Amino acid sequence: MTELIKYTAAQTAAAVAAGEVSAVEVAQAHLDRIEAVDKKVNAFLHVDTEGALKAARAVDDRRARGEELGPLAGVPLALKDVFTTEGVPTTCGSKILEGWIPPYDATLTARLKDAGVVILGKTNMDEFAMGSSTENSAYGPTGNPWDLARIPGGSGGGSAAALAAYEAPLAIGTDTGGSIRQPGAVTGTVGVKPTYGSVSRFGLVAFSSSLDQGGPCARTVLDAALLHEAIAGHDPLDSTSIDAPVPAVVEAARMRDIRGMRIGVVKEFAGEGYQAGVMQRFNESVELLRELGAEVVEVSCPSFTLALPAYYLIAPSEASSNLARFDAMRYGLRVGDDGSRSAEEVTALTREAGFGPEVKRRIMLGTYALSSGYYDAYYGSAQKVRTLISRDFDAAFAGVDVLVSPTTPTTAFPIGERADDPMAMYLADLCTIPSNLAGNAAMSLPCGLAPEDNLPVGLQIIAPAMADDRLYRVGGAVEAALNEKWGHPLLEEAPAL
């Protein structure tokens, strides 16, 4: 049965549909795997054994009744602990939400359930998705299955690590500045940030509303596409949700043909701070794209150098407002309510005790950036930069179908290395942030191991908004070519846990 955990989602769904294996067996195999390795990995904050088995039984029952099963029915999934789940704890990696049981499902959660996906539990993350290493979780860091002493990326390190540790074939992440793609890159897995507005945010606990986007994480491009199709689509409960058909991502993932596509290499994503082995694998990937018949050109996006500062004004500004609701009045942690203190004092004590240092730092940053007299200089200027970045993308996409870059400048760094240096930490998202600011679509997929440390390197592909299918077309082709070259998927080179 150990082989079951190595199945891709597509293989699992096919096996369940064909009756070769029951959904309950699949779920149990993954629950056993979690039991065996998660003490070391710490990918999960909460494992919902009962709920998972119940969902799996429901799939088996439907099959027994002869009902048609969807393309992901019976496939286990690890859900980032930032989406609400009715009756199952949702903490966002924060002490302030400890013990909160949401009374409602996020739209994404509901869609997964409808698709017969088996939710195994909730995964670890940087508190309120603020971070690039999962070290900011109030519940301890997650280890990178390639080297447990290293970070699995963040904020969605738990979801990426669960995939790399074969605890689940599918996972859900959210990407505000790179939180799906950067963990994907450093764990040798696939992560996609869909076009902003294509996956509902209803039930996604907000960090930065104008940037947050839920998306699929998987070990293969096709699996990511199948999951993408299951979760994307218009939701009337999210006003920013796009009311248009979801691009044909599954079809694109199966094409494996990029002949004639025009691909741009972003000049600005290189140079100081980029690890040599990362650039080497990236350059080889560009070469591969040429070999596969694409036309590769260099493009310049000068405003991208302003993306990081603009992001660190916009995201904290929105966060300072989004996180104001954690006031100890209605749910979650309450500190100091001994009958002698005012509501205001209890709120202050609770926020002091309940939020970690990075969250506090960003709340203060955002509060400052929005305050009168500073608004124009900070929040206002950042919004202008956002417009400039969108224009750079528009100009680039006028000449190319997709852009490529390394996903993150370095491979996974040791836990603790950047913990006291927020600026160094922020640089991990240098290449991913522009897509969040512009709201377009981007993917990270493995493109090899850096020779100097034998750790995974991610290739980022960026497509215009609502052209998510191009990510899968290019990603699918690159993945197939690389697997052929290596003789196996990259993840097989990871050490056994």
With respect to another protein, which residue has the nearer C-beta, 376 or 421? 376
Task: Rank residues 84 and 136 by Cβ distance to another protein and give the closer one.
Answer: 84
Instruction: Tell me the closest approach of the beta carbon of residue 430 to another protein, in angstroms.
Output: 23
Spatial distance between the Cα atoms of 224 and 197, rounded to a whole number of angstroms: 18
- Applying CB under 8 A, which of residues 1, 237, 377, 395 lies at the interface with another protein? 237
| Nearest CA-CA partner of 382 in 468, 309, 447 | 309
| Residue 260: Cβ within 10 Å count | 9
- Is residue 145 involved in binding another protein (CB under 8 A)? no
Question: Total residues at the site for another protein (CB under 8 A)?
Answer: 45
- Asked if residue 387 binds another protein (CB under 8 A), the reply is no
Nearer to another protein, 7 or 100 (CB): 100
Based on CB atoms, which residue is closest to another protein, 241 or 444? 241
Among 209, 280, 390, 483, interactor with another protein by CB under 8 A: 209
Which residue blocks in 207-342 are alpha helix, DSSP H?
221-231, 249-255, 276-291, 307-322
Beta bridge partners of 83: 204
Looking from the CA of 215 toward its CB, the CA atoms found within 13 Å total 37
- Whole-angstrom Cα distance, residue 8 to residue 23? 14
Give the residue, chosen from 50, 272, 291, 344, that forms a contact with another protein under the rule CB under 8 A: 344
Q: Is 81 in the site for another protein (CB under 8 A)?
A: no
Interaxial angle between packed helices 221-231 and 9-18, expressed in degrees from 0 to 180 and rounded to the nearest 10: 70
Helix 23-41 with 9-18: angle, nearest 10 deg: 150
Q: How far, in Å, CA of 194 to CA of 259, rounded?
A: 24
Cα separation, 433 vs 312, in Å, equals 10
Selected from 97, 232, 428, 442, the binder of another protein by CB under 8 A is 97
Return the structure tokens found at 296: 């590769």
Which one from 22, 133, 159, 179 is the annotated catalytic residue?
Answer: 179
- Which of 75, 180, 204, 363: binder of another protein (CB under 8 A)? 204
Residue 321 in the binding site for another protein (CB under 8 A): yes
Does 327 participate in binding another protein (rule CB under 8 A)?
yes
N-to-C CA span, the chain: 17
Cα distance between residue 4 and residue 169, in whole Å:
10
Tell me which of 142, 347, 408, 435 binds another protein, using CB under 8 A.
347
**For residues 345 and 421, which CB has a smaller minimum distance to another protein in the complex?**
345
If one asks whether residue 259 binds another protein (CB under 8 A), the answer comes out as no
> Does the protein bind another protein through residue 106 (CB under 8 A)?
yes
Q: Provide the binding-site residues for another protein, judged by CB under 8 A.
A: 83-84, 90, 92, 97, 100, 102-104, 106, 201-206, 208-210, 236-240, 317-318, 320-321, 324-327, 329-331, 342-344, 347, 367, 370-372, 375, 379
